Amino acid sequence: MFHKEGYRIIVVTFIVVAVLFLAAHYVSMPTWAQYLIWSTGFIFLFLILQFFRNPKRNYTLDSNKVLSPVDGKVVVIEEVYEPEFFKDKRLQISVFMSPINVHVTRYPVGGTIKYSKHHPGKYLVAWHPKASTDNERTTVVVESSVFGPVLFRQIAGALAKRIVNYAQEGQQAQQTDDSGFIKFGSRVDVYLPLDSKINVTLNQVVTGGLSVLAHQK
């Protein structure tokens, strides 16, 4: 199963790869060149299909837990000042996604969407210290009945050139539903109340919609 954001790119990739295969078959060239074109086409198509996959998962909704919004690796767990919405200190958990991870972004909690904003910006590598403030990004805040306002931020990386954000202020968000998509490498930051109980450790691999980032004490 593939995400809707990838349909156009997948179709275009199929067409390009098909043209390359036909050219390799009908145009006179050395055998090694044909094999190189075929193998390169297969690898490229595989990577595109891998990137836009959207696997079915059995989610368990729990308002007392904050679920990971994306697949990836936990790269930051720290107390920081959040300047855009809260303007105070929060617990930040950041998950880095490589190009081979599932890139669907899911709501980590359910509730009313209080804030949703897109910021144009740079394309620094996703782990750069200034990526959270300088890169293209979107900020979404969901009012949870248990945690209060929970902020999560999609951040473009060096390869990510488009962030898709479905969240609209005033809408009801259901935990684990799609909130957006980031194309080709990125990271998501989650900002929680200081009294939240963290359930993950640095460098832990997490799964979107399944892994618990934090729970209420």
The catalytic residue positions are 186
Instruction: Measure the CA–CA gap between 158 and 180, rounded to whole angstroms.
Output: 18
CB 134 within 8 A of CB 122: yes
The backbone torsions φ and ψ at residue 58, rounded to the nearest 5 degrees and listed phi first, read -95, 100
Closest CA to 217 of 192, 191, 196: 196
Instruction: Measure the CA–CA gap between 201 and 180, rounded to whole angstroms.
Output: 25
Kind of pairing between the strands at 162-165 and 72-82: unpaired
CB 178 within 8 A of CB 63: no
Q: Residue 176: how many CA atoms within 13 Å on its side-chain side?
A: 17
From residue 192, alpha-carbon distances to 141, 177, 181, 217 in Å are 11, 19, 21, 13
Burial grade of 101 (CB within 10 A; 0-12, 13-18, 19 or more): buried
